[in-house]
């Protein structure tokens, strides 16, 4: 039988002091411990994924990228060959 998302569980063992602290924080925000843990974990996961997916450039590097986008250089032989290989590989009939 297929399980729904609500049935997924993540067991966690922790020291009593940590558990008590988490319960206290959950009560302060009016959430159950489960709701608090899921929300906190989701916030942390989103922050980590956003950090990993973001490319950070200095102002000078950003300007260089924008300049290349506005005025791209002519394709060199390596790029031309790569495009031909791509065409041959992906566009076969």
Dihedral over Cα of 2, 11, 34, 47: its sign: negative
Q: What percent of the chain has pLDDT over 90?
A: 82
Position 91 scores a pLDDT of: 83
Rg of the chain (C-alpha set) = 25
Question: Rounded to an integer, what is the distance from CA 14 to the centroid of its chain?
Answer: 27
- 77, pLDDT greater than 60: yes
Position 7 scores a pLDDT of: 74
Position 1 scores a pLDDT of: 54
Polymer length of the chain: 93
Position 8 scores a pLDDT of: 80
Element (H, E) at 37: helix 33-53
């Amino acid at each position: 039988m297929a399980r729904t998302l609500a049935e997924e569980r993540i067991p966690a063992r922790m020291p009593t002091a940590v558990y008590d602290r988490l319960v206290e924080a959950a009560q302060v925000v009016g959430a159950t411990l489960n709701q608090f843990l899921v929300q906190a974990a989701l916030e942390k996961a989103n922050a980590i994924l956003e950090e990993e997916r973001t490319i950070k450039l200095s102002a000078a590097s950003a300007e260089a990228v924008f300049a290349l986008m506005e005025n791209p250089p002519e394709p060199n032989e390596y790029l031309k060959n790569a495009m031909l290989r791509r065409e041959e590989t992906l566009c076969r009939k």
